[in-house]
Amino acid sequence: MDLVLLTEEIVKSLVVNTDAVSVKEFPTEDSDVILIQVIVSEDDFGRVIGKGGKCANALRTLVQASSSLTDGKYVKINIDKF
């Protein structure tokens, strides 16, 4: 499964403004690491992070579990607002 699409679907299910969601994969120096950048609107930032970071941690856990089933790479997800 494509990890970027999985991340995008999960984030879009959490936010109100789905058009403002941007999810992209960036290259890293380490070939065993995947970096995914998530950008949401400022109004939806709290929804994606969740109270105490619980939603963000759950998102990272789900995507990491999917990665371990397919290629076993470590996934880093950065969440930011614009």
Q: Can you name the residues that pair with 47 across neighbouring β-strands?
A: none
Tokens found for residue 54: 């619980």
Instruction: Give per-residue burial for 18-28: e unless 16+ CB within 10 Å, then b.
Output: eebbebeeeee
**Distance (Å, whole) CA 7 – CA 12:** 9
Residue 79: pLDDT band with limits 50, 70, 90: very high
3-81: CATH topology is: GMP Synthetase; Chain A, domain 3 (3.30.300)
Q: CA neighbours within 13 Å on the CB side: how many for 2?
A: 7
Q: Report the predicted TM-score, pTM, of the whole model to 2 decimal places.
A: 0.93
Residue 1: pLDDT band with limits 50, 70, 90: low
Q: What stretches of 1-82 show up as alpha helix (H) in DSSP?
A: 3-14, 45-49, 54-70
Domain spans, the chain: 3-81
Reported as a single tens digit per residue, the pLDDT across 19-71 is 999 999 999 999 999 999 999 999 999 999 999 999 999 999 999 999 999 88
